[in-house]
Amino acid sequence: MPKTDQLFSDRMLSLGLARVSEAAAIASAKLIGSGDEKAADQAAVDAMRTQLNMLDISGVVVIGEGERDEAPMLYIGEEVGTGKGPGVDIALDPLEGTTLTAKDMPNALAVIAMGPRGSMLHAPDVYMDKLAIGPGYPKGLVTLDMSPTQRIQVMAAAKGVETSGVMVCVLERPRHQELIEEIRATGARIRLITDGDVAGIIHTAEAEKTGIDMYMGSGGAPEGVLAAAALKCMGGQMQGRLLFRNDDERGRAEKAGIEDLDRVYDRDDLVTEDVIFAATGVTDGSVVQGARRDGDYLETETILMRSKTGSVRRLFYRQKNQ
């Protein structure tokens, strides 16, 4: 693919990015409730890749479906676009919430972020310990070095409420049992989610709407970069630290260029430059409504954001059912 030195024009590319997430959501929406996670994911991948290759960019997938030997399409390192535009990094999850889609559960999204080349952490496919809060708080109010109890006490004080006035979003997994117990022991409340921690972190940026003040827990590192891109657009703070279960995972991190395996990344370490972010609803959720049929038409809602201006657009798209 030809390399160019054209400037990254987030304004010009933003609508094209919305079309990419829309296409993935529409394709996977046809399999909502089917029970077939793989088919729903593949439909989203195919549609997203087709649309990406129509954009005038010289794009590289830095957060994708997996390593090249694990994913036939939208793999890490794959070049996408026409090659006639600016060099860009792309982080994507064609279907964030494959299980949610297959079971017709809330908050499945098609998600993509784009920034200048070199703007996003090349996160390996390992776990990341994540902590996020919304905008309007002093920088560094809560940190990963604090205990969950300390974070909740500090957040409650910042909000001017008792600890019972703090709502924490946590991914429902056996590994989080002790975390859940500690949070509840403080008197704080918990919103448990079964999948989709990108959406879970985004919820903190709209606490007045969602009721969620904080996100805690471990999940995929690639999804952490996508969530950081969203928070960079919406405001809010995030910290992440890679977690390794074995030497193979440490090797993946070293292969990805990670030198300090214990580093705590802030939001702006995960995404270093201005980016654009698009998410289209597949199933209904707190961020956007899901794809829905209206007679002969299919409708979607997309949230489209630019960190440079802080603009947030909600786009409604309607097309004839194919």
Residue-by-residue DSSP string for 287-305: SSPPPEEETTEEEEEEEEE
User: With DSSP H G I counted as helix, E B as strand and the rest as coil, what are the percentages for the chain, rounded to 5?
Assistant: 35, 30, 40
The pLDDT value given to residue 1: 44
- How many residues appear in the chain? 322
Residue pLDDT, tens place only, 116-150? 999 999 998 899 999 999 999 999 999 999 999 99
Residue pLDDT, tens place only, 153-189? 999 999 999 999 999 999 999 999 999 999 999 999 9
pTM over cut 0.85: yes
Output the CA angle 103-106-112, nearest 5 degrees.
100
d(CA 158, CA 145): 18
In a 13 Å sphere around the CA of 245, the CA atoms on its Cβ side amount to 9
Q: Backbone dihedral region of 153: left (phi > 0), alpha (psi from -120 to 50 degrees) or beta?
A: alpha
Burial state string for 205-238 with b = 16 or more CB within 10 A and e = fewer than 16: bbbeebebbbbbbbbbbbbbbbbbbbbbbbbbbb
The pLDDT value given to residue 320: 80
CA-based Rg of the chain, rounded to a whole angstrom? 19
Dihedral, CA of residue 74, residue 79, residue 82 and residue 87, to nearest 10: 120
Average pLDDT, rounded, for the chain:
92
The pLDDT value given to residue 9: 67
Instruction: Quote the tokens at residue 191.
Output: 């919103």
Burial state string for 47-56 with b = 16 or more CB within 10 A and e = fewer than 16: bbbebbeebb
**Cβ–Cβ under 8 Å, residues 24 and 40:** no
Q: How many CB atoms lie within 10 A of CB 277?
A: 30
Would you say residue 2 has pLDDT above 70?
no
**Cβ–Cβ under 8 Å, residues 276 and 14:** yes
d(CA 319, CA 322): 9
The pLDDT value given to residue 4: 47
Would you say residue 25 has pLDDT above 80?
yes
